[in-house]
Chain A
C-alpha cells in the first residue's frame, strides 16, 4: 500500500510539473463552462415559456440541467482520458526508467495501481472544475444533491474503467502518441457501440449496447445507483488492470 502511494505521488507530481495537467484542466473548464451556460440558458427559456403559456410545467433543475450536463461530461471524458493515460508506461519505456521501477523491491501490481490511481485522481481534480459551476445552482436554485453525488460516482467509475484500458494500451508502446491515439479509438468505439440499439431491437444490438460505457452511465445520470452498472464499470477496471499486469510481465519475457 505504501509503495502504491509512492508511485501515485510521483505520477501526480509529474502531471503537475508538466503542462499536461494545466492544459487538460483549462480545456475542461472552458468546455464545461460552455455546456453549463448553454444548459442554464435553455432552462431559463423553457421556464419562461411555461410561465407564458399559463400551464405550470414541472421544472426540475436536476432533470433539466444536472442530468444532461452529467451525460455531457461522460462523453467529453472519452476525449480527455487518452491524454491522461497515454504517458503512464510509454514514457517510462522510452526514457528507460522502467528499468528502475522493475528492479526496485516493489511488485508490478503496486506500480500499476499507483499509476492508475494517479490518473484517476487527475480526472477527479478535473471534475472539481465542473463542481464549481454546479455550486451556482445550489446558490440560486434548490436542486437535490444526492443524484449529483451519484452522478459523480458514476463518472469516476466510468473513468476508472477507461483509464485502466488506457494504462494497458500505454504498456504496449514506447510512443505516447500511439498509446493516446489507440486509447482514443477504443474509447470512441466503446461509446458508439450503443448506436445500433437506437434503431434496432435485435439481440446483437442489445449486446453491443450493453458493452458500451455510455449505456451504463444512464442510471447514474438519473441519480440511480444501479448495481448492474456499477459492476460493469468495476469489472472494466479489473480487466484493464489485469491486462496491464500481464503485459508488464510479458515485457520482461520479450524485451
Chain B
C-alpha cells in the first residue's frame, strides 16, 4: 500500500531524512518510532504530499507523491501533530467542511459525519465550538476528520500526545478498531504505545531507519532475557542486604543481581534471568521461604532509551552501530511484505 525507496529530505543545513526505504501492506498498523527530531514528522509530511522529497520516491496505493499528488491525497487521511481544527467552527460544521474538501457532498456526507462523530466519540459535542473543547476531544475531532472520506491510508502524527491516561487508552482502542479497513502509520516516541497498538515497527533515529521489525521481535531483541525488580523487607528488625543478594544469586536461572536501593530494613534488587528462563516464581518462593517479606515484584519495563541504546549502540559509537547488519533471521521475519 505504501512503498518508500531511498527517501531523503534536506533542509537548508540539515538532513532530516536520510535514504530510508520501507513498505507497508494493506490493513497493517505500523508504528513509526523514534526520539523527537528523528525525522518522523518529515517522512509523514512527504507521504501526505505536504512536502516534496529531495530524493527518492514514495508511492501510496500505487500513486507517486510527486507525480500524482491529487490521487494520493484522495486516499490519505492525515492527523498532524496538532489537530488542524478551526477554533471558531462547531464540530459538525468542521467535519462537514473537511468532507467537502475531500470531495464529498449531500446526504452521503451528512450520513458520514454522523457516523464518524459516533465512531470517534465526539457525537455528544457536535454542536459545540471546537475552541471550547478539551484537548482530548480536539484530538478525537482531528481523528474524525482524518477518516471522514474513508481513506485507504491513515497517517497519524503522535495521536496520543498531550492526552490524559484515560484518553490515551480510548484513542488507542479507537485506532486499533480502525485497522483492517485502513492501513495505518502512526508515529510516537512512546514504546508501550507501539507495543499495544502496532503490528510492525519502524525505528528511525537521526533521519536513518535503524530497524524494521515486528513488535514481538523488537521486544525479544531489546530484552533478551527476563528482568525483574523486587523489594524485600526483613520481618524482624534490620536485615543485611548482602545476605539477601547471596540468596537470590543461588536461585536457579538467575544470571545477575544488582542492589538498587537499601533503606531501613528494605532492599530493592534488579534481577536478570538467563535467556529464556522464567524466574519470578522461584524468586518469590526463595524469599518467602527465607522468612523475608516480598513487598514488590514486577518485570522491569524497558524504556525506549534502553531499546535505542541497544539497537543503535551507545551514544559514542552510535554512528557505526546504526549501519551494523541486523541479524538475518529477524530481518526475514520483520521485513514488511
Among candidates A3, A14, A100, A255, residue contacting B88 with C-beta atoms closer than 8 Å: A14
Contacts of A103 in B (CB 8 A): 48-50, 73, 76, 78
Q: Are B82 and A96 in contact (CB under 8 A)?
A: yes
B98 on interface, CB distance cutoff 8 Å = yes
In the assembled complex, the CB of A5 is this many whole angstroms from the nearest CB of chain B, namely 9
Q: Are A102 and B50 in contact (CB under 8 A)?
A: yes
Q: Are B97 and A10 in contact (CB under 8 A)?
A: yes
A232 to B97, CA, bound (A): 36
A105 on interface, CB distance cutoff 8 Å = yes
Give A92-120 as 1s and 0s: 1 = Cβ < 8 Å from B's Cβ atoms: 00011111111111110000000000000
Q: Are A105 and B97 in contact (CB under 8 A)?
A: no
B110 on interface, CB distance cutoff 8 Å = no
Contacts of A140 in B (CB 8 A): none
Chain B residues within 8 Å of chain A by Cβ, number:
28
Give B29-48 as 1s and 0s: 1 = Cβ < 8 Å from A's Cβ atoms: 00000000000000001001
Contacts of B82 in A (CB 8 A): 95-96
Given known pairs A6-B97, A104-B73, A104-B102, the reply for A99 and B51 (CB within 8 Å) is no
Given known pairs A6-B97, A104-B102, A106-B101, the reply for A97 and B88 (CB within 8 Å) is no
Give B74-110 as 1s and 0s: 1 = Cβ < 8 Å from A's Cβ atoms: 1010101110111111000100011011110000000
User: 8 Å CB contacts to B: which residues of A209-243?
Assistant: none
Q: Are B85 and A105 in contact (CB under 8 A)?
A: no
Identify the closest chain B residue to A98 (Cβ): B84
A208 to B102, CA, bound (A): 46
In the assembled complex, the CB of A248 is this many whole angstroms from the nearest CB of chain B, namely 12
Contacts of B258 in A (CB 8 A): none
Q: Are A100 and B145 in contact (CB under 8 A)?
A: yes
Identify the closest chain A residue to B42 (Cβ): A255
Q: Are B84 and A100 in contact (CB under 8 A)?
A: yes
Contacts of A106 in B (CB 8 A): 101
Q: Are A252 and B70 in contact (CB under 8 A)?
A: no
Q: Are B84 and A96 in contact (CB under 8 A)?
A: yes
Contacts of B253 in A (CB 8 A): none
A74 to B78, CA, bound (A): 44
Q: Are A104 and B50 in contact (CB under 8 A)?
A: no
A253 on interface, CB distance cutoff 8 Å = yes
Q: Are B100 and A99 in contact (CB under 8 A)?
A: no
Q: Are A105 and B74 in contact (CB under 8 A)?
A: yes
B313 on interface, CB distance cutoff 8 Å = no
Main secondary structure of the interface of A (DSSP, over half): helix
Contacts of A99 in B (CB 8 A): 45, 48, 50, 78, 80, 84
Q: Are A252 and B52 in contact (CB under 8 A)?
A: yes
Identify the closest chain B residue to A255 (Cβ): B51
In the assembled complex, the CB of A109 is this many whole angstroms from the nearest CB of chain B, namely 13
A103 to B51, CA, bound (A): 10
Identify the closest chain A residue to B88 (Cβ): A17
Identify the closest chain B residue to A111 (Cβ): B101
A101 to B88, CA, bound (A): 17
Q: Are A95 and B101 in contact (CB under 8 A)?
A: no
Contacts of B80 in A (CB 8 A): 96, 99-100
A255 to B41, CA, bound (A): 12
Identify the closest chain A residue to B85 (Cβ): A97
Given known pairs A100-B101, A101-B101, A106-B101, the reply for A95 and B84 (CB within 8 Å) is yes
A18 on interface, CB distance cutoff 8 Å = yes
Identify the closest chain B residue to A99 (Cβ): B80
Contacts of B76 in A (CB 8 A): 103
A181 to B172, CA, bound (A): 45
Contacts of B97 in A (CB 8 A): 6, 10
Identify the closest chain A residue to B145 (Cβ): A100
A104 to B104, CA, bound (A): 12
Q: Are A252 and B86 in contact (CB under 8 A)?
A: no
Q: Are B84 and A105 in contact (CB under 8 A)?
A: no
In the assembled complex, the CB of A161 is this many whole angstroms from the nearest CB of chain B, namely 28
- The list of the 5 closest CB pairs from A to B, nearest first, reads A100-B84, A105-B73, A104-B101, A97-B84, A103-B48
Given contacts A97-B84, A102-B50, A105-B101, 6 further A-B contacts (CB under 8 A): A3-B101, A95-B85, A100-B80, A104-B98, A105-B70, A105-B74
Q: Could you list 24 A-B pairs, sorted by A, with CB under 8 Å?
A: A6-B97, A6-B101, A10-B97, A14-B88, A14-B89, A18-B88, A95-B82, A96-B80, A96-B84, A97-B85, A97-B86, A99-B45, A99-B48, A100-B80, A100-B98, A103-B48, A103-B49, A103-B78, A104-B102, A105-B101, A105-B102, A106-B101, A252-B51, A253-B51
